[in-house]
Structure 1
Amino acid sequence: MSRIPKYNAVGLSPTVWGAEERSDIETNLEHIHEALSAATWLSGLELPVKLAVLPEGALQGFTDEVFDMDHATYREEIAIDIPGPETETLGEYAKEFETFVVASAKEKAPEYDEKFYNTAFVIDPDGDVIHTHRKVTPLLPVERSVSPHDVWDDWQEHHGDDLDDLFPVVDTEIGRLGISLAIEGAYPEYVRGLAMNGAEVVCRIACPEPLVANESWAIQNRARALDNTCYVVAPNLGTYYVTPDADTPVDTFGGGSMVVDHKGNVLAEHAYGAGSSYCAATVDVEGLREFRTSSPLANWIKDLRTELIQPIYDRELYPKNLWLDRQPVDHETYAEEVTEAQIERMVEEDIFVPPYHERDGEE
């Protein structure tokens, strides 16, 4: 195994036009090329750019979520194949700029005729898709993507339930890469899954307001890096046009693109979100490896007492197989059938305590 030189990682914050049909993705791909060209050129003046990370939604936007689209209709009209023409275009960019590219898209689920996943992927400098990760928890209650947990019985049968099947990591010439797809990064367990599978650089791709302005995004990124002794490259989207023809954009995501080191230090941050930009910082994988294997204290996961942790999760909470035999439902129905039921369940199991006005008169 050869030594990995220091390199620069860039997190792109591109402008995005929400796709109404699959062909609209081309506009976003053209803009991504412009952003990549600028980011790799300027950031490459210091050290070679070997990792370029795109935020969630950079290809298609969030049309399914914003307009509460029928799941099967979105799959038919906007979701893509991976690999496919769109990843081939990104592969050409990876070859041109001699960098690994991390991106994501709503993907036609290969196992189903009418379902789609939210899938992140890594493209190597040869232009090949070398890694995929299906988002394990959508942005609830609005995102319509299917999680492996939503089709759990099928997923276990066809894919499995090991770390590689749920929190995959790819070993590359720039280190071991894992992807935390947007809201996944809000849950410590899902990033811990990547770390326990060997991830050294976690790409945490995007998060909407109000989670940026209230600092949840930054706190989560720094905590996930510190908790797991890993780098976190966390780009957020720039300006967002809800449709291809929209006249006025919305700063839906609020900026905050950042790179965090394995000690939780913010190495670079692009604070504002309006417009297109990027952040960049140096990644030292060999330094990370030395720290992990020499620190007696701050490489926390070596000290996990797993027998103590297991009882925390030794119960079913969120229901599995929700969409195994039907399509994801609209926002209102989901709120009634799932969100409200989950809150009631947490109260019934004495995990949550209801507020006073709901407790008044109990005795």
Structure 2
Amino acid sequence: MVRTADEASVFPDVVVASIQMAPKVGSKAANLKRSIELIEEAAGHGAVIAVLPELANTGYVFSSRREAFELAEAVPDGESASAWIDVARRCKIHVVAGIAERVEDRLYNAAIVAGPKGYIGTYRKLHLWGDEHLFFESGDLGLPVFHTEIGRLGAVICYDGWFPEVYRLLAMRGADIVCMPTNWVPMPGQAGEHMAMANTLAMANAHSNGLNIICADRIGTERGQPFIGQSLIVGAQGWPIAGPASKDREEILYASINLKETRRARHLNAFNDVLRDRRDDIYDPMLGTGWPLPRH
């Protein structure tokens, strides 16, 4: 597709990065140091968004709520959040990073969003998985869409991606790019060379909603729990544009996204648009009725 100079300046291509790494539970200082090294590497390759895994600074498999509480920290003023905000400013990059957030006596599985101008916002995981129920509260901030100079960003975390309503509501609220910090684990029937179920879900939801989705998974085994890697970046037409990554190595995936092409992807042909074709006279209004659609 050929774009005019005016179109290219208004809707420039942006390079995004999915950072696949191997946090170690309890090793917060080392995990944070490694994450910053990888963010700096991504920025050096021209990325303007870098997504880290779920609970990237603490590790995932907590032995007790006490351990989770001691590793958690305030957002945006805690040590890890402050370090990620600093590297986002210094490297002129947007960072979405999974973190255990402490608010008084409550804990949240959260993601901090930071950019070149500093702290942007926080997302708290809505759908808790397994033993997470022993440590965390369900998210209470809804599905915010963060307006930035590079587009409208949404965030989800891991098991949130199993719920199509999440992606639909983000699309209805105008998101262009959804950033997913995640810690995918093996699923029943998922073995050998089969594509991860999570990858299939990301592709389907990207296509059904015209969204770019950046999935950043972790690798390794933690206290007996294996993680499957296979991070992925999916374009707004539903096809992978980078990855899947390996199952067992740290690596960074890069892809180029153009927001004008993203918004066009929702128009399947001269007659059909995946958002405007919705029969909201039939569906439950909680699936998005009532929000005005962006017109550009």
- Quick check: TM above 0.5? yes
Q: Matches of 1:129 and 1:7 in 2, distance apart?
A: 20
Q: Matches of 2:68 and 2:107 in 1, distance apart?
A: 6
Instruction: Compute the TM-score of the two structures, normalised by the length of structure 2.
Output: 0.84
Residue 125 of structure 1: how far off its partner (Å): 1.3
Instruction: Compute the TM-score of the two structures, normalised by the length of structure 1.
Output: 0.69
The count of corresponding residues between Structure 1 and Structure 2 is: 273
Structure 2 unpaired stretches of 5+: 1-6, 288-296
Q: Which amino acid aligns with 2:278?
A: L
Q: Which amino acid aligns with 2:75?
A: I
Structure 1 unpaired stretches of 5+: 149-154, 156-164, 243-249, 314-363
Identity within the alignment, % = 25
| 2:172 counterpart of 1:169 | no
- Identify the match of residue 78 of structure 1 among 43, 66, 71: 71
Change (3 A) 1:297 1:219: farther
Q: Matches of 2:57 and 2:270 in 1, distance apart?
A: 43
- Identify the match of residue 119 of structure 1 among 88, 107, 110: 110
Structure 1 runs of 4+ with >4 Å offset: none
Q: Which amino acid aligns with 1:25?
A: K
- 1:312-327 equivalence runs, <5 A: none
Q: Matches of 1:58 and 1:27 in 2, distance apart?
A: 11
Q: Matches of 1:312 and 1:198 in 2, distance apart?
A: 16
Structure with the bigger percentage of helix: 1
SS in 2 for 1:301: coil
Q: Note the alpha carbon deviations across 1:54-113, whole angstroms, 9 max, x for none.
A: 11021111133xx2x13xx2454111100122111011211232210001211113xxx4
Residue 139 of structure 1: how far off its partner (Å): 0.9
Q: Matches of 2:273 and 2:150 in 1, distance apart?
A: 21
Partner of 1:185: 161
Task: Answer with 195-204 or 294-303: which moved more.
Answer: 294-303
Change (3 A) 1:89 1:184: same
SS in 1 for 2:243: strand
- Identify the match of residue 237 of structure 1 among 218, 223, 227: 218
| 2:92 counterpart of 1:98 | yes
> What RMSD, in angstroms, separates the aligned Cα atoms of the two structures?
2.5
Residue 307 of structure 1: how far off its partner (Å): 3.2
Q: Which amino acid aligns with 1:260?
A: V
Partner of 1:216: 197
SS in 2 for 1:281: strand
Task: Answer with 208-217 or 192-201: which moved more.
Answer: 208-217
Change (3 A) 1:223 1:300: same
SS in 2 for 1:287: helix
Residue 228 of structure 1: how far off its partner (Å): 0.8
- For the pair shown, the structure with the greater C-alpha radius of gyration is 1
Residue 273 of structure 1: how far off its partner (Å): 2.6
Q: Note the alpha carbon deviations across 1:217-275, whole angstroms, 9 max, x for none.
A: 11111011011101011111133554xxxxxxx78221211111111111110432323
Q: Note the alpha carbon deviations across 1:2-53, whole angstroms, 9 max, x for none.
A: 713101100001121101xxxx311101111222233333xx2xxx311000
Q: Note the alpha carbon deviations across 1:280-320, whole angstroms, 9 max, x for none.
A: 1111112212344684456312111123221999xxxxxxx
Change (3 A) 1:76 1:264: closer
Structure with the bigger percentage of strand: 2
Q: Which amino acid aligns with 1:53?
A: V
Q: Matches of 2:272 and 2:96 in 1, distance apart?
A: 28
Partner of 1:328: none
SS in 2 for 1:239: strand
- 1:239-254 equivalence runs, <5 A: 239-242=220-223, 252-254=226-228
